Amino acid sequence: MACFLVSVFLLVLQVHAAPSELLQTGLTLDSTVLNPGLAANFSEDATPSPPPGTSKRTPHSIIIGVRKGGTRALLEMLDIHPEVAVAATEVHFFDWDDNYAKGLEWYRELMPYSYPHQITVEKTPGYFTSALAPERICAMNSSIKLLLILRDPTERVISDYTQVYFNRLENHKPVQAIENLLVRSGALNIRYKAIQRSLYDVHMRNWLRHFPLEQIHIVDGDALIRDPLPELQKVERFLNLPPRIVSSNFYFNQTKGFYCIRSDGRERCLHESKGRPHPSVNGTVLQQLRSFLREHNRTFFRLVKRTFDWQ
């Protein structure tokens, strides 16, 4: 009922928001939020004519996270399916503090053109840990299907650190050893953002306040890396899609060490930033991290009524 009332309120605001207002409310096409060059996609003059019979719609499904859980791999693999249209960018729209109602039309404009028989999928991994996203997505569409891809939370912390480490190196910024971030004054630094993002039970509770568990499909990110097809077949069933993704759509790249995609006569792999080797972590520190996360994992298993093979 709460979602319904908020939805009505937002719809009223949308009706009275002129398109020109969208760029006057602080919803700027900032390169820190969008991919470079995406601003041009917002201008009708800069975009090609859409294919006949297509339109832009708010997503039927959103990959809500988790960061460094495999969201990009999942989106790219779903793009194989002929009845799926994927968004080209992450917009972090539901994290924004202001102008939510007036921005919905702008959000729709960032979605891909799709045919009536297709479903649109967007992915923004930061949504899972956002305090604002669950309520706002519910207000937009209370029956939307959500995809959550998770991996071993300890490995996710290390992967999170690895991404930040390389980003800082590339931008000529100072870096720290992972142990210096994980431990402060001899104790585990639970305020470290990478650890906070791995408290799956904390964030899941927030989503379950707004969506029933049946609307959230959890993809095993570790299993997706080992063998993509079974996980994608589960996603097809969850999204009520006909089975179109097959084993021949994947091949193992020995150089990269993970599966790549083969479809429409083309082969493609994820960006070189994916699959970077993790740093070795001091064994004692690693054990501290695993011990801390273990009880959170147990609570998460109870919430979602399933378990995962996490250390």
Task: Give the β-pairing of 55-56 and 113-114.
Answer: antiparallel
User: What residues are designated binding site?
Assistant: 68-72, 151, 159, 259, 274-278
Q: Is 262 left (phi over 0), alpha (psi -120 to 50) or beta?
A: beta
Phi, psi angle pair for 203, to nearest 5°: -75, -35
Asked if 7 contacts 140 with a C-beta cutoff of 8 angstroms, the reply is yes
User: What residues are designated binding site for 3'-phosphoadenylyl sulfate?
Assistant: 68-72, 151, 159, 259, 274-278
Q: Which residues are catalytic?
A: 68
Phi, psi angle pair for 254, to nearest 5°: -65, -35
How many residues does the structure list for the chain?
311
